[in-house]
Amino acid sequence: MLKMPEKITTVGAYSSSGLLIALGKFIDWFRHVDWSQAAIIIGIVIGIATYFTNLYFQRRQTRAIEAAAREGKTIIPRPE
């Protein structure tokens, strides 16, 4: 018969116990959420994330245009 080391079984027991306690607390919190406040908070977070994403990609585009201009490439076609 194979015997597991005592340390592994102890760590496993305490880890699973802690995980179940955390899961129970999360489920209890989730049952008492005010969904209108949650929607407002989620909207604010998405708005802030959208702003910073847009800022990042605008800066990338600006750097690409500046790099192309330094190389003498035309970015915007000239009107005919």
Quick one: 17 and 38 in the same domain?
Answer: no
Quick one: 26 and 54 in the same domain?
Answer: no
Task: Report how many domains make up the chain.
Answer: 2
Give the domain extent around 13: 1-32
Residues whose CB falls within 8 Å of the CB of residue 69, separated by 6 or more in sequence, listed in order: 75
Quick one: 25 and 42 in the same domain?
Answer: no
Quick one: 26 and 41 in the same domain?
Answer: no
The per-residue pLDDT string of the chain (80 residues; one tens digit each, 9 = 90 and over) reads: 556 667 777 888 889 999 999 999 999 988 888 989 989 999 999 999 999 999 999 999 999 989 988 888 876 666 76
pTM of the model: 0.54
Residue pair 72/65 in contact (Cβ under 8 Å)? The answer is no
Quick one: 54 and 41 in the same domain?
Answer: yes
DSSP code at position 77? P
Quick one: 54 and 71 in the same domain?
Answer: yes
